[in-house]
């Protein structure tokens, strides 16, 4: 007798096929909804609006040091820090006042493809005299950055970068701090005599870096971090350069709370932070040891200005009202 097929049940293979189709339809629906939401939001008024203008700008790392020509956002290296809240609609109007093509890439942010700023991939470069408007929702919380993505080894070396901070909506998991500072680390190749500025566009040139900066300045011109006893301090470390740095804080220990904008489930207790190119670390410490302390790269050649020590990636942590002067030698 011929067995009757059970039309109410699908076989294993057919069941998998149906589930696969269902998942695909759901994914397609979500994609279409996200696309429609993104298109609808384009016409909305932004919550935060910024203008970034790049132009040729003289820059000096420290008094008496060489002066170089940079492509600076709004006249500064790094460019202005852009700080927004998670979920805010952001509009960045980019104006190119140089003789070269440029874009802006928002490093670490998850954006629509046409806002990613990569020439030949997601956007045409902005020509000299041109303008482009970046319009997006800042969904990705944390410490991020922005930089030019046209011929990056050259244009980033020309100073086209800045910090982009997205404060999370839900701050219950965030460290409670009294002071929040951002430090961008970079390296440069400068001819001491002519002031000519070379870029690290060839791998062999990495070893030729001879100036090193924190927020565009080399020690002794790096701005001291002034704290009060008992304060909790958050340092947002960003490595925009191409070399690895090992930043060490004297007299204190702290904890890494976030990496690349992502909060760690358990903070990592450290007094030295090894940070690679493109990485960001949030380092939090308590100012509980009054005095004047050093924060510096422990890779010693990077604490020089063209080989002269001290210089480069070093700065002071200064307690307000309790700073100390160097101890003098006493003859007995």
Residues 198-216: tens digit of each pLDDT: 888 888 898 999 999 999 9
Q: Where in the chain is the domain with CATH 2.60.40.420?
A: 48-167, 179-319
CA distance 315 to 213: 10
> Which CATH class for the 48-167 domain?
mainly beta
Tokens 């002034």, residue? 226
The count of other CB atoms within 10 Å of the CB of residue 114 is 12
- Express each pLDDT in 70-94 by its tens digit: 999 999 999 999 999 999 999 999 9
Q: CB of 215 within 8 A of CB of 145?
A: no
Backbone CA torsion sign across 224, 186, 216, 72:
negative
Residue 36 has pLDDT above 80, yes or no: no
Of 205, 223, 189, residue with least CA distance to 305: 189
Cα distances (angstroms) measured from residue 142 to each of 65, 84, 197, 257? 34, 10, 32, 11
Across all residues in the chain, what is the average pLDDT?
Answer: 88
Return the structure tokens found at 58: 């003289």
Does the pLDDT at position 9 exceed 50?
no
Q: What CATH number is given for 179-319 in this structure?
A: 2.60.40.420
CA 112, 152, 51, 223 torsion: positive or negative? positive
153-177 CB burial, b ≥16 within 10 A, e <16: ebbbbbbbbbbbbbebeeeeebbeb
Lowest mean pLDDT, pick from 36-45, 98-107, 178-187, 221-230: 36-45
Q: In a 3-state reduction of DSSP, which class is residue 301?
A: helix
Q: How confident is the model at residue 60 (pLDDT cuts 50, 70, 90)?
A: very high
Q: Give tens-digit pLDDT for 282-310.
A: 999 999 999 999 999 999 999 999 999 99
DSSP state of 218: -
Judge contact between 160 and 148, C-beta under 8 A.
yes
């Amino acid at each position: 007798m011929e067995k009757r097929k059970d039309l109410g049940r699908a076989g294993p293979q057919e069941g998998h096929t149906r589930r696969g189709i269902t998942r695909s339809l759901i994914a397609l629906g979500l994609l279409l909804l996200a696309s429609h939401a993104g298109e609808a939001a384009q016409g909305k008024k932004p919550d935060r609006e910024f203008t970034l203008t790049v132009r040729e700008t003289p820059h000096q790392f420290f008094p008496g040091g060489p002066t170089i020509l940079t492509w600076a956002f709004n006249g500064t290296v790094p460019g202005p820090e852009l700080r927004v809240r998670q979920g805010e609609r952001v509009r960045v109007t980019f104006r190119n006042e140089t003789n070269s093509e440029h874009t802006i890439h928002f490093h670490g942010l998850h954006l629509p493809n046409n806002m990613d700023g990569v020439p030949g991939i997601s956007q045409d470069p902005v020509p000299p005299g041109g303008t482009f408007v970046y319009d997006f929702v800042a969904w990705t919380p944390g410490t991020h950055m922005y930089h030019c993505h046209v011929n990056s080894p050259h244009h980033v070396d020309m100073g086209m970068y800045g910090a982009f901070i997205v404060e999370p909506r839900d701050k219950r998991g965030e460290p409670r701090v009294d002071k929040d500072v951002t430090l961008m680390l970079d390296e440069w190749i400068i001819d001491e005599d002519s002031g000519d500025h070379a870029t690290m566009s060839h791998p062999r040139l990495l070893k030729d870096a001879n100036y090193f900066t924190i927020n565009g300045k080399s020690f002794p011109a790096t701005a001291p971090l002034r704290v009060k006893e008992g304060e909790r301090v958050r340092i947002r470390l960003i490595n925009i350069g191409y070399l690895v740095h090992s930043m060490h804080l004297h007299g204190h220990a702290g904890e890494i709370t976030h990496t690349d904008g992502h909060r760690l489930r358990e903070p990592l207790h450290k007094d030295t932070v090894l940070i690679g190119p493109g990485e960001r670390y949030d380092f939090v410490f308590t100012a509980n040891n009054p005095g004047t302390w050093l924060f510096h790269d422990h890779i010693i050649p990077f604490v020089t200005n063209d080989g002269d020590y001290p210089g480069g990636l070093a700065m002071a942590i200064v307690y307000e009202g309790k700073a100390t002067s160097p101890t003098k030698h006493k003859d007995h």
